Each structure stands twice: as structure tokens, then as C-alpha cells.
């Protein structure tokens, strides 16, 4: 073994977004690209000599090779102890749990979440802090600054480490501990939920299907749903992780998980169905004949969380990202809970969780979780749903309709326009910004524009300010339109348009969401000039 210092030069574009750095896989595989970014992380967090880190990923293409590089660089930079998921595998919530349980100095998670995998698809890497959550903006800013001045990186010349065998080994004085990627996380779930009640639910003939989408959660789901809870074999669909996610798109929404949606809408529908994404941090909830939007799911979980043992004493508070529908706000008002509105990005929930201000939080992009870890956790949300169903003993549709009847209904959808040219996206947003002052008090489609602003978040814990977090319009009668450019893509820009209508009318439980939101969609197109500027006449995805 030989420790080497490799001369390098800065590589443009290594600026981490809301969930680390995501780029095409071939970009990460190019000369010095991964090494530069890893060294920038090490430098940006004040060095790693003597530290303990967690390492793992979602198993997508290049995951195994990248982990070998990171281990050699960690040893060369003086890391004392690396905790690595067996086979290089860790779901994102499981990695967060290991960071917290072992009180490490953070961790490196290799994932592009719900983005496709493969040599011609996407790859990603992010650093999570010792609290278990994604690095906050001041840390990612320092990491990016390091990428712009980097002149060398340290790496060990050595043979590959055996990632397949549980136990400890040594690499140039660095202890490498290979751990079961599922066990600790699954044990934690048993402390949160009433597994006896869920076992009884399955024993009574309750039917459930979970689509792992050929992604990381297959082994987790088999262990928890089948081995620990007694769900029958065949409950887990597409449960074998694949480097390219079976050639599919591991995003749990009605477009990419259409076979599961078709199943619950068909004659042989199970009582309950769910899916998770590439790295296990997102979820989709379905019942017979029903897709439950992530916003409605968050609200219903907040309203019923007390039925699970971990939350029986109530919630400290709740939080949602700004674009997420205000359905959970209604629950918070009714239950006297604090409700926080944050920018998109799970890291913004971290301070609120660490300060004990909130217990449950979520985003419209199918991320939901609690204070048990510092990441969104798809299987946690599904288990809480199962716990609620086991106690309430009602079908999913009846639960959702009862929730709307009690708290009112928020009609909500997200329109994604993917791969827009950056120039067109910037033109569209510049036009919206310029128009904001003249919109307030005026009419759009016969409705008064009550507010029009660009969201800025003032963190109530540390006082930090995050500006330019999305443009939002609120209309008379409970309508809201939000425009935002997403940071999760790797090519071009993704324009996300969020549409929301709110009503307390009891008859709304039977209204058709598409019909309700159609006028708002037309208003959004008109005010932003989407078709005129981008040439897009319809979104690529409606979620």
C-alpha cells in the first residue's frame, strides 16, 4: 500500500444542491471528478483525521466502485473508522440512523434518490452531518468553495476492500466495519410502532402490496413486512435491487409506478399498497380505488400519529415545505400545534427537529418522516399508515374521506416540466419576479390576487435566512399557485408548478380534483407564460 498525493485542478459545476451533488453517472466516472469532490467534502468539514464516518448508497451503477475510491481516500486522509453497509448498500434513512446511533462525525451517502440509475443515467453524493441530516447551507457552501480552489487530493493505492463479509478489517490503520444494512433500522421501527397490532391485521386477511421499484428498499421491506410482521410471500414486488432499477424510473408516483396504481384501481385491488424510491426516502400511498397525495398523507399521519406507541403523547409540532399543500396546517390549527413552513430540502427541517420544535414533517415530493432520524423515511411512513389502519379498522378511502370531512379538503397537484433550457427557465422566472409588485390586488381569472411574493425563510432556531425559494401567489377563495425551479435534476432545468384549492364545503369529498384544478392550471400558464416561453403545452409529469 502506498499513500499518494495527486495533483489536480478545480472542476466547474461541483456545487451541491438541496440533496448533495447530482450529475450524470459518466460525469462522476470522469477523471478526478469523484476524487475532487470527496476531497472537497473532507476539506470543507474541517478535515477527517481521527473521525468516524458512515458510508453507503442505494446500489445504483457505480456505487460499488465509488465506495472503493472513497475508502482509499478516507484512509489516506486519516479517518479512524468507517462504518459501511454490507455490499456498499444503505438506504438513506438507514444511513441517518447509523450516524445517530453510533454518534459518528457524519456520513457519505451515494444516491441520486428518485433519479434513474445506470451508466447513462444519474449518480449522486452527499455529506450528512453528525446529527444525521443533510449538510446545511453553510456547510455545502464551504464544500463548494473548496471545489473551486482544490489543487490536490490524497488517496491510497491498495486492493479493493471486501464489502460482502460482515465484520471488521484494517486499511492502512483505518478500521472498516461492514454492518448489516437493514438490521439496526428495522430494530428501530419495532420501537416506534405496534408490531403486534400490524401482525394481527395481516393475520386477519388484510392484503398489502409494496413495490420496491428494483431499488434499495426491497431487502428492508422483506425483513420488516414479511419476516417480522407476517405479511405473505409476494407482498413485496420488484424487491431485488438493480444498478439501473430494472431499467425503470425509481420515483414513486402515479406515472412511474403505474402498474401498482393500475392494480389498486382494478378488480383484484389489495386493501393497501405503497411504493418507495431509489434510496428509500420517499413513499407513495394507495388504497382500493384511491391515490393518496403526499400532502394528504402528511396531514392524515399528523392527525393520527398518536395511535402509534412512539407518538402516543402527541406531537411537539409539524412542518412542511412551502410548496406542499396547506392540508397539514388545518390539522395543526385544530390540534393547537405549531406549524412551520420551510424551503424545499430536508435539511431545513433539521434545526426544527434538533430543537424539539417538531415531531413530524414532510414534503409534497413524497418525503415524510419524524424525529426518529434526520432524513425522510419512506418505509417509516408506510409503517405508520399500517399502524393507523390496524387501530382504526377502516379502509384507506374511508379514512381519507373522514379526514376531509373533519378538517376540510385541499385539492393539490404538481406539474413538472422537465429538461427546460436554462435560458428559457431564467427568462420565465425573471418575468415572474418583475410582475410580482403589479399582481397584488389585481384580478386573475376573476379572482383577486391577495399576495404575490418570492419566499424567503428565516430559520427560527439559528436565525439564518434562505432567499429566492420559490414564487407564490395566493388567490381569493383559497387558491394558491407556486412556481419553483428544482435542484434535483442533472440536465437542464425542471420547472415545478404547484396548484392548490382549499374548501370547507362538505360536498367537496366527492369533487373531482382534475376538474377543480383545471382553471388554476390555465391561470398558472397564463401568468407565467409557460407555453409561450418554453414551448411546452403540457407537463411531463403530474403528481
Residue count of the chain, please give it.
Answer: 543
Within 216-279, where are the H helices? 217-221, 258-264
Half-sphere exposure of 184 (CA within 13 A, CB side): 22
The helix/strand/coil state of 198 is helix
Question: Is the distance from CB of 389 to CB of 399 less than 8 angstroms?
Answer: yes
Distance CA 254, CA 263 (A): 11
Vertex 167 angle, CA 161 and 168, to 5°? 60
Tell me which of 111, 113, 242, 424 is the catalytic residue: 113
Within 77-203, where are the H helices? 92-101, 137-147, 183-192, 195-203
Question: For residue 277, what are the CA distances in angstroms to 116, 119, 174, 207?
Answer: 10, 19, 33, 21
| Cell, residue 405 | 370531512
Report the relative pairing of strands 493-503 and 409-420 from DSSP bridges: antiparallel
Vertex 399 angle, CA 397 and 404, to 5°? 95
CB atoms within 10 A of CB 228: 16
Grid coordinates 394481527 are at which residue? 200
Question: Is the distance from CB of 328 to CB of 340 less than 8 angstroms?
Answer: no
Task: Give CB contacts under 8 A, 24+ apart, made by 158-167.
Answer: 158/1, 158/72, 158/75, 160/68, 161/68, 161/71, 163/64, 163/67, 163/84, 163/86, 163/87, 163/88, 164/86, 164/87, 165/86, 166/86
- Can you name the residues that pair with 173 across neighbouring β-strands? none
Grid coordinates 424567503 are at which residue? 456
Distance CA 496, CA 484 (A): 5
Distance CA 520, CA 330 (A): 21
Report the relative pairing of strands 338-342 and 236-237 from DSSP bridges: unpaired
Within 365-410, where are the H helices? 378-392, 396-407
Q: What are the phi and psi torsion angles at 169 (to 5°)?
A: -145, 175
| Terminal-residue alpha carbon distance, the chain | 51
Q: What are the phi and psi torsion angles at 261 (to 5°)?
A: -65, -45
370 counts as catalytic? no
Cβ-Cβ contacts under 8 Å for 133 (sequence gap 6 or more): 96, 346, 347, 349, 350, 353, 374, 375
Residues catalogued as catalytic: 113
Amino acid at each position: 500500500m502506498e499513500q499518494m498525493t495527486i495533483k489536480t485542478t478545480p472542476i466547474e459545476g461541483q456545487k451541491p444542491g438541496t440533496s448533495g451533488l447530482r450529475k450524470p453517472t459518466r460525469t462522476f466516472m470522469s477523471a478526478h471528478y469523484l476524487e475532487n469532490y470527496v476531497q472537497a467534502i473532507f476539506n470543507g468539514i474541517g478535515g477527517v483525521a481521527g473521525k468516524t464516518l458512515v458510508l453507503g448508497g442505494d446500489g445504483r451503477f457505480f456505487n460499488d466502485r465509488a465506495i472503493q475510491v472513497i475508502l482509499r481516500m478516507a484512509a489516506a486522509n486519516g479517518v479512524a473508522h468507517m462504518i459501511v453497509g454490507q455490499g456498499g448498500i444503505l438506504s438513506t434513512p438507514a444511513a441517518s440512523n447509523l450516524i445517530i446511533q453510533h454518534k459518528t462525525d457524519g456520513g457519505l451517502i451515494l444516491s441520486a434518490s428518485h433519479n434513474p440509475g445506470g451508466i447513462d443515467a444519474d449518480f449522486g453524493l452527499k455529506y450528512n452531518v453528525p446529527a444525521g441530516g443533510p449538510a446545511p447551507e453553510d456547510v455545502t457552501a464551504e464544500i463548494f468553495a473548496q471545489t473551486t480552489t482544490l489543487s490536490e487530493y490524497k488517496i491510497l493505492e491498495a486492493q479493493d476492500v471486501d464489502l460482502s463479509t460482515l465484520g471488521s478489517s484494517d486499511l492502512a490503520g483505518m478500521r472498516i466495519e461492514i454492518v448489516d444494512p437493514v438490521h439496526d433500522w428495522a430494530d428501530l421501527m419495532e420501537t416506534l410502532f405496534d408490531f403486534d397490532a400490524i401482525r394481527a391485521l395481516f393475520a386477519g386477511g388484510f392484503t398489502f402490496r409494496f413495490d420496491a421499484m428494483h431499488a434499495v428498499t426491497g431487502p428492508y421491506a422483506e425483513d420488516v413486512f414479511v419476516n417480522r410482521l407476517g405479511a405473505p410471500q409476494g407482498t413485496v414486488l420488484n424487491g431485488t435491487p438493480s444498478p439501473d432499477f430494472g431499467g425503470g424510473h425509481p420515483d414513486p408516483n402515479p406515472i412511474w409506478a403505474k402498474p401498482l396504481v393500475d392494480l389498486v384501481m382494478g378488480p383484484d385491488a389489495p386493501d393497501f399498497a405503497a411504493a418507495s424510491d431509489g434510496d428509500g426516502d420517499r413513499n407513495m400511498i394507495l388504497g382500493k380505488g384511491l391515490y393518496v397525495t403526499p400532502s394528504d398523507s402528511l396531514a392524515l399521519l399528523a392527525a393520527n400519529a398518536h395511535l402509534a406507541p412512539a407518538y402516543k403523547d402527541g406531537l411537539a409540532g409539524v412542518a412542511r415545505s412551502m410548496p406542499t399543500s396547506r392540508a397539514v396546517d388545518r390539522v395543526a390549527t385544530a390540534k393547537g400545534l405549531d406549524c412551520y413552513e420551510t424551503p424545499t430540502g430536508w435539511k431545513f427541517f433539521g434545526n426544527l427537529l434538533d430543537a424539539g420544535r417538531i415531531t413530524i414533517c414532510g414534503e409534497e415530493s413524497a418525503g415524510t418522516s419524524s424525529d426518529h432520524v434526520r432524513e425522510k423515511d419512506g418505509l417509516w411512513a408506510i409503517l405508520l399508515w399500517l399502524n393507523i389502519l390496524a387501530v382504526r379498522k377502516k379502509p384507506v378511502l374511508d379514512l381519507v374521506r373522514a379526514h376531509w370531512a373533519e378538517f376540510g379538503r385541499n385539492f393539490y397537484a404538481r406539474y413538472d416540466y422537465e429538461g427546460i433550457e436554462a435560458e428559457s427557465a431564467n427568462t420565465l422566472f425573471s418575468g415572474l419576479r418583475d410582475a410580482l409588485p403589479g399582481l397584488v390586488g389585481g384580478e386573475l381569472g376573476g379572482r383577486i390576487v391577495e399576495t404575490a411574493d418570492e419566499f424567503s425563510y428565516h430559520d427560527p432556531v439559528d436565525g439564518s435566512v434562505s432567499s429566492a425559494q420559490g414564487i407564490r401567489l395566493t388567490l381569493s377563495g383559497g387558491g394558491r399557485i407556486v412556481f419553483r425551479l428544482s435542484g434535483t435534476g442533472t440536465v437542464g432545468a425542471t420547472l415545478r408548478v404547484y396548484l392548490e384549492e382549499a374548501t370547507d364545503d362538505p360536498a367537496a369529498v366527492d369533487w373531482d380534483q382534475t376538474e377543480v384544478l383545471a382553471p388554476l392550471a390555465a391561470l398558472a400558464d397564463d401568468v407565467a407564460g409557460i407555453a409561450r416561453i418554453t414551448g411546452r403545452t403540457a407537463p411531463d409529469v403530474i403528481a
